[in-house]
Amino acid sequence: MKKCIIMMAVSFLGMDQISAQNTVKIPKSNKMNSIEVLKTQSHIDDLNIAINHLQPDVISKEYPVLFLHGSSFPTALSFGFKMDNTSWMSNLSKNGYDVFALDFLGYGNSDRYPEMEDNSKSARVVGRAEEVVFDVEKAVDFIKQKTGKNKVYLIGHSWGGSVTALYASKFPENIQKLVLLAAITVRNETDEAEKVSGSFDEMTPKQRIEAMKNLTPNGKTCQLEKEVFESWGEIWKKSDPLLQKLKLDSIRFPSGPNQDVLDLFHNKSYYNPSMIKAPTLIIRGDWDQYPNNADAENLFNTLENAASKKYVVLKNGTHVAHLEKCRTALYDEVLKFLF
């Protein structure tokens, strides 16, 4: 399987204890208002992860929400991206949820792996699921300490959905409910998996948007919201400090997720759905090809020990349904499930 195809699939602590230098406010814009960025140490010494936080006027729900983004683009371009003045984060916040979203290392407001400045193809592959799951652990511990709650609602998209499932299988005691949007699942391809080389993949905003457009089936109308074409690319460029530092034309992101997806595609899974105990919602667009319906049903059937489970298909949705017109249906389904 060609690497470009795989990349299309993957693209898709008490407040008084947080020191001033570890709390950074994002400048207000018309695309992401009132989100603050909290930082804490990652699983790697000297590298910090960023936890984006949107607190409602009144917290009326019992547990906080934590989002985990997929490969290539961070929170600001996914859960925090406003379309018609509403993002998924703001939708949940307006409904009384205390909302958090992790930027994995190499993305958004989190630090970059030093290896991502190395152009050598022999550089270490970074950001694999079995490594970054320990940053999810750190983020959850941070949120538990900040909020005083002992569990979170965990929501993951695409490759981030597979990390979500991995975390839920390793730390079931920390999860109240689980949402897997277009989570990458195991398949059983018989050819040998390609080996990724180098520490980063890269794309221009134009290439990424074109890749998302191309997820629409032939003969169908692209469902991406207009803001994706108007401002998404510029916001993505501004999210990458390496773009200006190294005078690049494209945006770099860790190569590890690409290897993870290749492995999953060839029946090498790093998570076991049967170990997930929390109530779980599997949700995907009906136009999504990875996971397709068979993939999602297989995942659903292997959730043997989940307290409850539900599978929902969104009409006219692709792998990036949270950036498409069906996103309102997505919001509603998740609100119903979490309630």
List, in order of start, the domains of the chain with CATH numbers.
3-338 (3.40.50.1820)
Is the pLDDT at 11 greater than 80? The verdict is no
User: Token digits for 228?
Assistant: 């994706």
Share above pLDDT 70 across residues of the chain, in percent, rounded to a whole number = 90
Is the pLDDT at 87 greater than 50? The verdict is yes
Is the pLDDT at 5 greater than 60? The verdict is no
User: What's the confidence (pLDDT) of residue 318?
Assistant: 98
Are the C-beta atoms of 87 and 32 separated by less than 8 Å? yes
- Weakest-pLDDT range from 3-7, 137-141, 297-301: 3-7
Q: What is the pLDDT of residues 261-316, one digit of tens each?
A: 999 999 999 999 999 999 999 999 999 999 999 999 999 999 999 999 999 999 99
- Look over the chain and give the mean of its residue pLDDT values, rounded to a whole number: 91
User: What's the confidence (pLDDT) of residue 192?
Assistant: 78
What is the rounded distance in angstroms from the CA atom of residue 324 to the CA atom of residue 159?
19
Is the pLDDT at 22 greater than 80? The verdict is no
User: What's the confidence (pLDDT) of residue 199?
Assistant: 96
Is the pLDDT at 86 greater than 80? The verdict is yes
Q: Minimal CA–CA distance to 296: which of 279, 273, 275, 321?
A: 273
DSSP single-letter state for residue 189: -
Task: Tell the residue number behind the tokens 């195991």, with chain if given.
Answer: 186
User: What's the confidence (pLDDT) of residue 162?
Assistant: 98
User: What's the confidence (pLDDT) of residue 28?
Assistant: 37
Strand-pair category, 36-41 with 65-68: unpaired
What is the rounded distance in angstroms from the CA atom of residue 272 to the CA atom of residue 30?
40
Long-range contacts, 39-44 (Cβ 8 Å, 24+): 39/109, 39/110, 40/13, 40/138, 40/139, 40/142, 41/138, 42/105, 42/110, 42/111, 42/135, 42/138, 43/131, 43/132, 43/134, 43/135, 43/137, 43/138, 44/105, 44/113
State the pLDDT confidence band at 39, using cuts at 50, 70 and 90: very high
Is the pLDDT at 71 greater than 90? The verdict is yes
User: What's the confidence (pLDDT) of residue 18?
Assistant: 30
What is the rounded distance in angstroms from the CA atom of residue 129 to the CA atom of residue 203?
21
pTM given for the model: 0.90
Q: What is the pLDDT of residues 191-245, one digit of tens each?
A: 877 899 999 999 999 999 999 999 999 999 999 999 999 999 999 999 999 998 9
Is the pLDDT at 13 greater than 70? The verdict is no
Q: What is the pLDDT of residues 141-190, one digit of tens each?
A: 999 999 999 999 999 999 999 999 999 999 999 999 999 999 999 998 87
Of 112 and 31, the structure prediction assigns the larger pLDDT to 112
State the pLDDT confidence band at 16, using cuts at 50, 70 and 90: very low
Is the pLDDT at 46 greater than 80? The verdict is yes
Q: Minimal CA–CA distance to 39: which of 13, 1, 4?
A: 13
User: What's the confidence (pLDDT) of residue 27?
Assistant: 37
